[in-house]
Structure 1
């Protein structure tokens, strides 16, 4: 059966998904601002908050990091934060929340496949049912959300689809690289690692701020800028600081193939928030899609439980065999 650590990891994953789902609404709430401004603003706030929270433990954490670790932090920050959110914000504004969450919902499939050779990963054959259920759920969503574009022309929807695919690729790279980095750095806590990613992301966002706010400032009233600043700061704290810390905690408690399946909760919460924003109930296809996605997660958990039971049975058989050899009569 699943261990206590597995259940704690699943709980942390669900909470992280609840916070992360909020990022899909932010582009809808700030349509007067560009995706580049959204990304720069959010991660400038993330970097500032991370620097403040990291300051008390900086002298303890700094000696634990080598040049390789700083390089890892740099590319994780760029791929998993800057690039990911620029793509995602474009996708939401051009294709809508449902379409974007549909594509991002493929993360359980891509991350699971990327981590199938890692330690404690379940065999691919046992993962096929959960992968099939997840894909079936996404097909149900796509049948409705892509049949008629909700925002603008079909061309805009197509560009949004490509941007959502870019988000999928960048976050798959982040999820796999982040999980392996956490496994390697035993002395750095999950929370400290999240804050380090935030610090590096904030430094990168400083460079992004030049084209975002100086070259193309736009025409916004002071009240609009205050609203924008408050919203991106809230998203930075809830989604980046708290959400990432929960995800890093889950990444240390769960194997990568199981962690990949947990990302489905981001999709479910994004859909839920989208329905609330649009003030409507899910359709029959959307209810079916959510049920299939949840069933995929449960199937993945079952595959890992069976692997653990089989491994324990094998160890017990080996021990019994050794005992019989030592005491032959």
Structure 2
């Protein structure tokens, strides 16, 4: 189990980069960033799996194609678009509040899975985790000095953030269950197939968007806005390699080795690393509530891991 925990921690370290790249590419739309990231992910996955491409496709069954399609949409493209739209329309604070419920949502949704620890034993760790999430979001609300947005935009943004939460929670559970039912695919193989399917879908979306919005995407107005396409592809390629290829592979390893209820808690490492990278990028120290949130989140995850370790020791071989 502890190998799975370490892999989950490292996956969170990779995924935390996702929150810095939009700051670097603020001149680009969420659609462009999503399509760029997953096209790069698909290209890297294709190169990595090229020597085994014929063998892998020969082993794919009908159910695998459907699984890859739904995982690429729910776990990557649709999730990222919902999240980006939520931030744009409702702001960072409401969106982060909703997405911050993810670990608890995954734990609750996976409570009936094999190996899941009874919720009564996780009540206190979940409460500590919820307190940490609350501290983060209270701090964000207190320091958000943004102009007032319309009620309609805020409602739509909240709905988009809720959609992102549901997409990622469902993907986390469905992916973990599918991997455990299909051990004949290694974590690296499934991650490569997942990346290739995401890249193909992103390519289709890019072609449609280019045909409809060609003037807005690549015209003189885009050049005048200072959009640096070289930086765009460098950032998205690094993000695709680190967060998608390496991060997803590590997460697949973790998904096979830890119970569903614990995997929900391990997702919190993404939040912690995102905070760390944000502090480094902005060159500032965390505020008191942010420090409290970090301490509570670490305490909640550690407590949850301890409960799972005890349960594993007591379980019959």
TM-score, with length taken from structure 1: 0.87
Deviation of 1:98 after TM superposition, in Å, equals: 6.3
Are 1:290 and 2:290 matched, yes or no?
Answer: no
Q: Show CA shifts across 1:269-312 (max 9, x none).
A: 11222222332211111111111111111121122122123324
User: 1:13 corresponds to which residue?
Assistant: 8
User: 1:238 corresponds to which residue?
Assistant: 242
Separation in 2, partners of 1:141, 1:175:
23
Deviation of 1:101 after TM superposition, in Å, equals: 4.4
Counterpart selection for 1:188 from 185, 202, 218: 185
User: 1:111 corresponds to which residue?
Assistant: 106
User: 2:268 corresponds to which residue?
Assistant: 264
Counterpart selection for 2:148 from 144, 149, 153: 153
Separation in 1, partners of 2:91, 2:273:
15
Q: How does 1:310-321 map to 2 (within 5 A)?
A: 310-312=314-316
Separation in 2, partners of 1:134, 1:233:
33
Deviation of 1:17 after TM superposition, in Å, equals: 0.4
**Structure-2 change in CA distance of 1:206 and 1:176 (3 Å):** same
Q: Show CA shifts across 1:185-232 (max 9, x none).
A: 111000110110111111111121134444333333397111111111
User: Any stretches of 5+ residues in structure 1 without a counterpart?
Assistant: 1-5, 316-329
SS of equivalent residue, structure 1 residue 220: helix
Q: How does 1:25-174 map to 2 (within 5 A)?
A: 25-93=20-88, 100-147=95-142, 149-155=144-150, 159-174=156-171
User: Any stretches of 5+ residues in structure 2 without a counterpart?
Assistant: none
SS of equivalent residue, structure 1 residue 147: helix
Separation in 2, partners of 1:113, 1:123:
10
Separation in 2, partners of 1:248, 1:230:
26
> Is the 8 Å Cα contact of residues 141 and 289 (structure 1) preserved in structure 2?
yes
TM-score, with length taken from structure 2: 0.90
> Is the 8 Å Cα contact of residues 95 and 160 (structure 1) preserved in structure 2?
yes
Deviation of 1:96 after TM superposition, in Å, equals: 5.9
> Is the 8 Å Cα contact of residues 101 and 270 (structure 1) preserved in structure 2?
no
Q: Show CA shifts across 1:14-59 (max 9, x none).
A: 1110110111122221111110111111111111111111111123
Separation in 1, partners of 2:59, 2:91:
43
> Is the 8 Å Cα contact of residues 112 and 261 (structure 1) preserved in structure 2?
yes
The total of aligned residue pairs comes to: 308
User: 2:206 corresponds to which residue?
Assistant: 209
**Structure-2 change in CA distance of 1:28 and 1:165 (3 Å):** farther
SS of equivalent residue, structure 1 residue 21: helix
Separation in 2, partners of 1:304, 1:117:
15
> Is the 8 Å Cα contact of residues 80 and 174 (structure 1) preserved in structure 2?
yes
